[in-house]
A = this chain, B = another copy of it.
Amino acid sequence: MYTALAGGVGAARFLSGLVRVVPAPAVTVVVNTADDDIFHGLHVSPDLDTITYTLGGAEHPEQGWGLQGETFAMIDALARYGRPTWFRLGDKDMATHLYRSERLAEGATLSTITGEIAEAWGVSPRLIPMSDDPIATRITVIRPDGTTEELPMQQWFVRERAEPPVTSVRFAGAEAAAPAPGVIEALEAADTILVCPSNPVISIGPILAVPGVRDALVRRRDRVVGVSPIIAGRPVKGPADRLMAGLGLDVSCVGVARAYAEFCGTLVIDAGDAHRCTEVEAVGVRAVVADTLMTDAGVAAALARHTLDAVA
């Protein structure tokens, strides 16, 4: 039994490697939902969809979100009505949001619906949203005139291209939320808990903020292994560097180790960061070196193998 904590594209690639080296049905994935938002009345779950589409073999090969061969007729047509179109919902992708929204309106939980969508894509690992309750990442930025403003995550990341400097991050709703059914059980039952190479602040951070999750991880610390999403001081993709720097974290595998030290006994770092092993171990986290840049499925599978071996 393997339980993974996951955000978006980095996690999706890692998980597609993982299911090549262990039986897919033995894998449970707890997915960040604090990036979820309502667009045009529909509930969009970016990380759940990225992981589902990737494990279903239908992800866009480059852009890190959305489907292969996607079209954008609907979102472009919304411009006629003065609606914002910066969040590029594809036509095929829309079907997922329509289905999810209609099922939510019918009273189904997000975790039930997530299972239905995963099944529709032939995804064998069990996907669970971190919570069925709404939790929303809010990012406080500083404007050129020195004032601060709190933005929904997608507005900062997509609309404003992650450009405004970040001063703080919170996960609205987290205190009142409960873990989705099966989350704590999956952490308790797992032989190995994997923290995927995802943004530590806004992908892994919200999962940790769900009451009970961090404590469950702390209790299993020896069985928790993370993969640093930072290679040579930079994220492979996404805004982790701007977020970590804004929150005063060192943008490096050492900064990741420090953020995870309480609940993560082992951290896989990139071969290019091998010279920082001593620094990682100085914060109390065992460092294991591997090739973490997942340029193809073979590398992802090898990384998954190395990650499991690190706590074997």
Contact = CB atoms under 8 A, between A and B. Distances in A.
A312 interface: no
A157 interface: no
A94 B95 contact: no
Task: Count the copies.
Answer: 2
A99 B78 CA distance: 7
Interface in A214-261: none
B101 A74 contact: no
Q: Max chain B CB contacts within 10 Å: which of A71, A77, A78?
A: A77
A16 to B, nearest CB: 20
Nearest to A91: B73
A95 B116 contact: no
A105 B74 contact: no
Contact of A94 (B74, B80, B117): B74
A77 B91 contact: yes
Contacts of A75: 95
Contact of A74 (B40, B80, B95, B116): B95
Interface of A: 40-42, 70-71, 73-78, 80-83, 90-96, 98-99, 101-102, 105, 116-117, 120-121
- The binding surface of chain A is classed by DSSP as helix
A116 B81 CA distance: 8
Contact of A71 (B40, B73, B120): B73
B80 A120 contact: yes
B81 A117 contact: yes
A105 B82 CA distance: 17
Contacts of A73: 70-71, 73, 90-92
